């Protein structure tokens, strides 16, 4: 794209002013490939490295999530999206915070929006579990996962081999101090993917059916997390 007489000086000034990739593409009428060629030439000339390292990055989280779900390895993710391990860690944390929700649109400024099925549960406070809280499928008690956070309407888990759309009966084991008893509920898996950092399977379940007795134990668990007893 340098042959199209794009001013290197103007591009560097635009980057330093905070202009993002999409704005530069529109200004200089470049394709995505053309923009990469331009950046490569500027890097080779020693003109661009500092600007690329310091300016804000806009990443397509939807595309990254799709690659993670498709089993892309950590090295391939780092290479494809030009990420450091710390940056990948931050991306995964953002995906976990959003609980794997898909965006309503795709592009360089993609953010993770909430589909309708999550609107109700996201209004409820989720309580992070800071102690070891085992969970297993009632039909597969030999595979024990861990509860990551809890709300009155659902919870996120790690370590269970489940897929989005699965309906499972899950058992939460009682604590050793007897502050709440073991309880179970039927849940719908609303999202699931593998953390590329440590390979752990992560999933979020909405509670579809729970008895009154078990709901009381869930409330006791939430009180334990929020007040200590």
Give the CATH number, domain containing residue 188.
Answer: 2.40.10.220
One domain, residues 196 and 147: yes
One domain, residues 105 and 127: no
Q: Are residues 58 and 109 in contact, defined by beta-carbon separation less than 8 angstroms?
A: yes
One domain, residues 34 and 69: no
Give CA angle at 13 (9, 17), nearest 5°.
Answer: 170
User: Is 3 or 17 the better-scoring residue by pLDDT?
Assistant: 17
Give CA angle at 137 (98, 215), nearest 5°.
Answer: 70
Q: Tell whether 167 is covered by a domain.
A: yes
pLDDT band, residue 13 (cuts 50/70/90): confident
Helix (H) or strand (E) holding 138: none
Nearest residue to 189 via CA among 210, 162, 152: 162
CA distance 37 to 112: 29
Mean pLDDT computed over 139-160: 91
One domain, residues 222 and 150: yes
Q: Are residues 164 and 153 in contact, defined by beta-carbon separation less than 8 angstroms?
A: no
One domain, residues 197 and 145: yes
Domain boundary among 94, 113, 132: 113
pLDDT band, residue 116 (cuts 50/70/90): very low
Q: Does the pLDDT at position 218 exceed 90?
A: yes
Q: Tell whether 153 is covered by a domain.
A: yes
pLDDT digits (tens, 9 = 90+) for 72-88: 788 888 777 777 777 77
Q: Does the pLDDT at position 67 exceed 50?
A: yes
Domain boundary among 91, 113, 135: 113
Q: What is the residue-averaged pLDDT of the chain?
A: 75
One domain, residues 217 and 151: yes
Q: Tell whether 1 is covered by a domain.
A: no
Q: Does the pLDDT at position 124 exceed 60?
A: no
One domain, residues 133 and 102: no
One domain, residues 49 and 65: no
Total domain count for the chain? Answer: 3
One domain, residues 109 and 173: no
Mean pLDDT computed over 82-97: 73
User: Is 194 or 162 the better-scoring residue by pLDDT?
Assistant: 162
One domain, residues 78 and 30: no
Look at residue 220 in the predicted model and tell me its pLDDT: 93
Quote the DSSP letter at residue 129: -
Range of the domain at 132: 121-227
Q: Tell whether 35 is covered by a domain.
A: yes
One domain, residues 70 and 23: no
């Amino acid at each position: 794209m340098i042959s199209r007489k794009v001013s290197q000086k103007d591009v560097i000034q635009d980057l330093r002013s905070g202009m993002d990739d999409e704005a530069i593409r529109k200004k200089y009428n470049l394709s995505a490939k053309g923009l990469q060629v331009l950046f490569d030439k500027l890097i080779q000339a020693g003109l661009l490295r500092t600007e690329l390292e310091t300016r804000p990055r806009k990443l397509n989280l939807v595309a990254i999530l799709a690659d993670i779900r498709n089993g892309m390895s950590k090295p391939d993710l780092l290479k494809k999206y030009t990420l450091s391990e710390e940056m990948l860690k931050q991306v995964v944390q953002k995906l976990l915070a959003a609980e794997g929700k898909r965006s309503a649109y795709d592009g360089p400024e993609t953010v993770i929006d909430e589909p309708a099925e999550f609107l109700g549960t996201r209004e409820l406070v989720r309580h992070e579990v800071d102690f070891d809280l085992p969970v297993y499928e009632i039909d597969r008690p030999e595979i024990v996962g861990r509860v990551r956070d809890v709300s009155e309407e659902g919870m996120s888990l790690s370590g269970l081999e489940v897929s989005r759309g699965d309906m499972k009966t899950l058992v939460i084991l009682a604590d050793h101090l007897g502050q709440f008893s073991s309880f179970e509920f039927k849940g719908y898996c609303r999202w699931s993917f593998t953390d590329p950092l440590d390979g752990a399977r992560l999933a979020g379940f909405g509670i579809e059916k729970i008895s009154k007795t078990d709901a009381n134990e869930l409330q006791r668990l939430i009180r334990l997390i929020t007040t200590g007893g």
